[in-house]
Amino acid sequence: MIKLIHTADWHLGQTFFGYDRAREHEIFLRALRRIISERGAELLLISGDIFDTSNPSAEAMKLYYGFLRDVTSDNPGMRVIAIAGNHDSGARLEAPHPVLESIDVITRGTVRRLADGTPDYSRHVVPVMRDDKTVAYCLAVPYLRAGDYPEADTYNESISLFYKGVYDHVRILDPSGTIPIIAMGHMQTSGAALSEDDRGERTITGGIECVASDMFEPRTAYTALGHLHKAQRVAGRDDVRFAGSPLPMSFSERGSAKSVCYAEIAEAGERFQERRPEHDAGSDAGEDAAPEGTPIFSDATRRIELIPMEQTAPLVRVTVDGDDIDGLSEALRSLPEGEVGVGSPYVEMRVSVSAPEPDLRRRIEEALAGRSVRLTRIEAVATGADDAEPEVSPDLQGINPMEMALEIFRRRYGGDMPEGMRNLLGQAIAEAQQQ
């Protein structure tokens, strides 16, 4: 039996609305180390977006390489396989490879070419060894950029051709087809749920590069994907999974469970006793972590389990009426008191206002003094908001900026613009017209 842990999208070095998350990452990595040792995993798969940027800070790099040293010395015989995501620089990730290889950390960040110009697929077939015997092949394919993959009509076809090249290489190494295959990838697939409001997931050129999961051949024991921040299976296949990010990356993820994936894969000729899953994995999108120790999927050759990751700093959204100053202070009073620390919630304020409130941030910050929270953003929602499109004059030259502003103000706030503001705007318009 091969025991593996699959994780992805750490985004080390990320700041969240300006707040440094290094301590949260440190706590996650410590928990991950404990899980790996407890489970006796012999394979750790990191499916890309290890760092948040292609040029990570010294602190983020220290965190990563310190973790690799600790986790490999804790678990002799364990192999770590890491691929680059779209946020990583593949070349930079591979640079320390000569040193990392000596502690059994294999990194695949770039695609190399053979003399005839075809991609060197063999580099992406990484054997998993035990006692000098190959027990599995890992297809370590990083996020593929233009130029990495063979030309085809569509992005999906190109990526499929690349994976086919890698699978074909396994067929050369193992003609009998008995050694299990574990695939890795960093991509967006069709049949997966995106988090609304999470730009990190979408930086793959406009989000159009979506691929079908059927490129992972049915004989693949497990497919470890990265890129989407919500943990999920793909297109109904329990063995094709996004691990999800260990830290919530946007407010749209508040309340969604975070986990790492643990899988047991049967070796060649081995059969597991079939067990019925005790937990219904539910829909493709909305599955939460089952209680620890409960497989979400199991058959004769696989057992898959989600191991919940506790959240260090929760995300909290507070919705209040900004005109009701007492109500506002009341809502903020419910937030924890004390010093701001690593566990302090990140707070997003949604304040409904009936008029523009230039003073809102200062008022909220004052009311938050002494609270153990980290204010992220304040969203002022106009109560008089009218969703109807403002009427736009067909003659653009004929638009009077003051009239336009008064109309928009009326629609947003349901009343007339105060005189002081009108005078100020009049001055600004006059100055602009003079220039």
Which of 232, 301 has the CB closer to Mn ion?
232
**Using rule CB under 5 A, residue 230 touches Mn ion:** no
Question: C-beta of 229: minimal distance to Mn ion in Å?
Answer: 8
Of 54-62, 226-234, 311-319, 352-360, the window that binds Mn ion (rule: CB under 5 A) is 226-234
> In this chain, which stretch among 24-32, 42-50, 65-73, 369-377 interacts with Mn ion, using CB under 5 A?
42-50
**Least CB distance from residue 53 to Mn ion, whole Å?**
12
Q: Residue 49 or 239: which CB sits closer to Mn ion?
A: 49
Instruction: Specify the long-range contacts of residues 99-104, CB closer than 8 Å, at least 24 apart.
Output: 100/68, 103/68, 103/69, 103/72, 103/73, 104/72, 104/77, 104/78, 104/79, 104/80
- 49 binds Mn ion, rule: CB under 5 A: yes
Judge contact between 224 and 183, C-beta under 8 A: yes
Which region, judged by CB under 5 A, interacts with Mn ion, from 29-37, 86-94, 163-171, 214-222? 86-94
Nearest-angstrom CA–CA distance, 400 and 393: 10
Asked if residue 85 binds Mn ion (CB under 5 A), the reply is yes
DSSP 224-291: EEES-SS-EEETTEEEEEE---SS--SGGGTT---EEEEEEEPPTT--PPP---SS---SSS---PPS
- Part in contact with Mn ion (CB under 5 A); list of ranges 48-56, 63-71, 127-135, 382-390: 48-56
Q: Is 227 in the site for Mn ion (CB under 5 A)?
A: yes
Nearer to Mn ion among residue 53 and residue 352 (C-beta) = 53
Rounded least distance, CB 287 to Mn ion, Å: 21
Structure tokens at 388: 């109807």
Long-range contact set of residues 281-290: C-beta below 8 Å, sequence gap at least 24:
281/233, 281/238, 284/191, 284/192, 284/193, 284/232, 284/233, 284/234, 284/235, 284/236, 285/192, 285/193, 285/230, 285/232, 286/193, 287/231, 287/232, 287/233, 288/256, 288/257, 289/231, 289/257, 289/258, 289/259
Beta partners for residue 183, in sequence order: 139, 223
Find the residue with minimal CB distance to Mn ion. 227
Residues touching Mn ion: how many (CB under 5 A)? 4
CB of 192 to Mn ion, least distance (A): 12
Residue from 75, 86, 195, 298 binding Mn ion (CB under 5 A): 86
CB nearer to Mn ion: give 48 or 119: 48
Residue 197 beta carbon to Mn ion: minimum distance, rounded to whole angstroms: 16
Rounded to a whole number of angstroms, the minimum distance from the CB of residue 22 to Mn ion is 20
Which of 141, 320 has the CB closer to Mn ion?
Answer: 141
Would you say 7 or 86 has its CB closer to Mn ion? 86
Instruction: Output the six-digit token pair for 7.
Output: 């994780």
Q: Which is nearer to Mn ion, 51 or 262 (CB)?
A: 51
Least separation in angstroms between CB 49 and Mn ion: 4
Judge residue 51's burial from the number of C-beta atoms within 10 Å of its C-beta, 0-12 exposed, 13-18 middle, 19 or more buried: buried
Kindly state the tokens that stand for 16.
């969240």
Q: Is the CB of 227 or the CB of 412 nearer to Mn ion?
A: 227
C-alpha distances in Å from residue 292, one per residue of 85, 272, 278, 311, 394: 28, 20, 12, 15, 62
Stretch that binds Mn ion, among 220-228, 244-252, 314-322, 395-403 (CB under 5 A): 220-228
Q: Please, what is the minimum distance in Å from the beta carbon of residue 205 to Mn ion?
A: 12
Nearer Cβ to Mn ion (72/188): 188
- State the nearest-atom distance from the C-beta of 326 to Mn ion, in Å: 44
Category of 162 on φ-ψ map: left (φ > 0), alpha (ψ -120 to 50) or beta: alpha
Enumerate binding residues for Mn ion (CB under 5 A).
Answer: 49, 85-86, 227
